Structure formats: C-alpha cells, structure tokens
C-alpha cells in the first residue's frame, strides 16, 4: 500500500476461504482506492449482491485466469486484429460505462463503480484497452493493475470480435511489462475459447502473492498495435 502512495485500508477483510458456495466472502465496506487495492491484493473483488445491491466481496473457487503465454488466437480473430485501431487509457470512464450498459444481462456496473474505478485510473492503478473503428468506440475492457497482477473486470463489444481484439492487445501489453497474472474471475465459454483456465483458490492466492512483489507497470496512453 505504501509503495502505491495510498493510506492504510480502514477495513479488515476475512480470509477468502470463508467464502460461501457462490464465492461471496463478506458484505460492506466502500470503494475507496485503499480498500480496492487491499481487496485485490487479498484475492477479492467487489460486485453488488442481492436485490438491495449491497457491496459484496468475492473470491470464487475455482478461479478463472488467462495464462499470458496461453492465449489462443483463431484465424478469424487474427483477421480482426487488422480491422480495429486499439488504444490504451484514452477513454477509461466511457469504456467502463459501456461495459455496464444496463441493457446488458446481469449488468452490475453502477455510476458509483465507474466513479471509483475512474479514480483508480487517474492513480495509474486501473486501465482500459479500447477498440476503435473510424473514431467510434466499438469494444474494450478494463481492469485493476497491481504489480504483476492484472485483474480483468469486464468487457464489451458492439462490432464483431472487438472485445477479443482488446483482450489480445491486453495480453501483449502485459507480456511486454512482465505482468504474469491475468485474473478473469469466473471461467466462461467465451474466455475458455481464448485459453482461459480454472485453478484452485489456494493456487490463485499463491500466484497473487508472487505477483504483488513485482514492479508496478506503467502503461503509455494512446494507440497500440496487437500483432
């Protein structure tokens, strides 16, 4: 926490292994930067829970990760890489808000989340990767970056393969900054098709501890070109 220039977290999170069968560990707290960093460093991430949309902290078991050296790129996706311009951190808040489009099923990204993570972006602790087509934002993703951990949060697309292209660009960006751990929370068929796998919670927590001692990466805002 100190090396990131943040004050101590006012909350003490329970250990992740007290999670229930859905992965929920505890309810409450806030979305301040020190709270978010402490949570991610402890293997937790926030999402609302229940009809009252209370702030929940989650640690599913098994956990989904995408090995940085295990990304699968199909022929069609390789063609799509040439279709879009990819940019980093040029419209973080807009990208996150588009991920939280209320028309999407299971949408949970509220304005409070957008504000909190936009603050993290301003601190260099959250990043967006964006796909553009003729100056129109057509896909992207965002997540939290701490040392050698990138915690992917959500992605969206309104053009074919745009979110996948953003993910390819993210993986290459992480590789160029020696970031070994890309957390995707839960494994979905979409992510599995790209090379994501499941690991046990205790294995994930061990990898987080190893990742946190690595240097904090600094991504350069602007265009990037996935190969």
Per-residue confidence (pLDDT) for residue 3, from 0 to 100: 67
CATH number at residue 146: 3.40.630.70
Q: Is the pLDDT of residue 106 over 70?
A: no
Query: Does one domain contain both 170 and 190?
Result: yes
Q: Is the pLDDT of residue 104 over 60?
A: no
What's the pLDDT tens digit per position in 70-85?
A: 999 999 999 999 999 9
Query: Does one domain contain both 95 and 145?
Result: yes
Q: Averaged over 47-68, what is the pLDDT?
A: 92
Query: Does one domain contain both 74 and 44?
Result: no
Query: Does one domain contain both 86 and 196?
Result: yes
> Has residue 1 been placed in a domain?
no
Residue bearing the bigger pLDDT, 115 or 110: 115
Cβ atoms of residues 153 and 186 within 8 Å: no
Query: Does one domain contain both 84 and 40?
Result: no
Query: Does one domain contain both 113 and 168?
Result: yes
Query: Does one domain contain both 47 and 80?
Result: no
Q: Which helix (H) or strand (E) holds 4?
A: none
C-alpha to C-alpha distance for 165 and 94, rounded to whole angstroms: 18
From 69-83, 112-126, 130-144, 162-176, the region with the lowest mean pLDDT: 69-83
How high is the mean pLDDT of the chain? 93
Query: Does one domain contain both 71 and 50?
Result: no
225 band by pLDDT with thresholds 50, 70 and 90: confident
CATH number at residue 46: 3.30.70.3550
Percent of the chain clearing pLDDT 90 (strictly above): 87
Phi–psi pair at 86, nearest 5 degrees:
-110, 130
Q: Averaged over 104-114, what is the pLDDT?
A: 79
What's the pLDDT tens digit per position in 26-39?
A: 999 999 999 999 99
> Has residue 140 been placed in a domain?
yes
Q: How many domains does the chain have?
A: 2
Cβ atoms of residues 143 and 185 within 8 Å: no
CB within 8 Å of 160: residues ≥ 6 apart = 80
What's the pLDDT tens digit per position in 141-173?
A: 999 999 999 999 999 999 999 999 999 999 999
Q: Is the pLDDT of residue 68 over 60?
A: yes
> Has residue 21 been placed in a domain?
yes
What string of H, E and C letters represents the secondary structure of the chain? Answer: CHHHCCCCCCCCCCCHHHCCCCCEEEECCCCCHHHHHHHHHCCCEEEEECCCCEEEEECCCCEEECCCCCCCCCHHHHHHCCCCEEEECCCHHHHHHHHCCCCCCCCCCCHHHHHHHHHHHHCCCEEEEEEEECCEEEEEEEEEEECCEEEEEEEEECCCCHHHHHHHHHHHHHHHCCCCEEEEECCCHHHHCCCCEEECHHHHHHHHHHHHCCCCCCCCCEEECCC
> Has residue 4 been placed in a domain?
no
> Has residue 5 been placed in a domain?
no
* Residue 213 DSSP symbol: T
Domain, as residue range, for 36 = 11-58
> Has residue 3 been placed in a domain?
no
Domain endpoint, select from 58, 79, 96: 58
C-alpha to C-alpha distance for 87 and 95, rounded to whole angstroms: 11
Query: Does one domain contain both 51 and 147?
Result: no
C-alpha to C-alpha distance for 127 and 88, rounded to whole angstroms: 7
Predicted model pTM: 0.94
Query: Does one domain contain both 172 and 85?
Result: yes
């Amino acid at each position: 926490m100190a090396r990131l220039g943040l004050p101590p977290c006012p909350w003490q999170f329970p250990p992740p292994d007290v999670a229930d069968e859905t992965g929920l560990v505890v309810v409450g707290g806030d979305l301040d930067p020190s709270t978010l960093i402490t949570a991610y460093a402890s293997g937790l991430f926030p999402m609302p829970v229940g009809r009252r949309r209370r702030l929940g902290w989650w640690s599913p078991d098994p956990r989904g990760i995408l090995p940085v050296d295990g990304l699968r790129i199909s022929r069609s996706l390789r063609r799509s890489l040439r279709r879009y311009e990819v940019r980093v951190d040029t419209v973080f808040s807009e990208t996150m808000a588009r991920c939280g489009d209320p028309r999407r099923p299971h949408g949970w990204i509220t304005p409070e989340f957008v504000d909190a993570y936009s603050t993290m972006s301003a601190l260099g602790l959250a990043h967006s990767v964006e796909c553009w087509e003729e100056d129109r934002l057509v896909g992207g993703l965002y997540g939290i970056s701490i040392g050698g951990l990138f915690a992917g949060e959500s992605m969206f697309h309104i053009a074919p393969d745009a979110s996948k292209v953003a993910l390819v660009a993210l993986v290459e960006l992480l590789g160029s900054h020696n970031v070994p751990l890309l957390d995707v929370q839960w494994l979905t068929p979409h992510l599995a098709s790209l090379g994501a796998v499941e690991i046990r919670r205790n294995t994930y927590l061990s990898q987080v501890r190893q990742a946190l001692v690595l240097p904090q990466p600094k991504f350069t805002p602007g265009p990037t070109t996935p190969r």
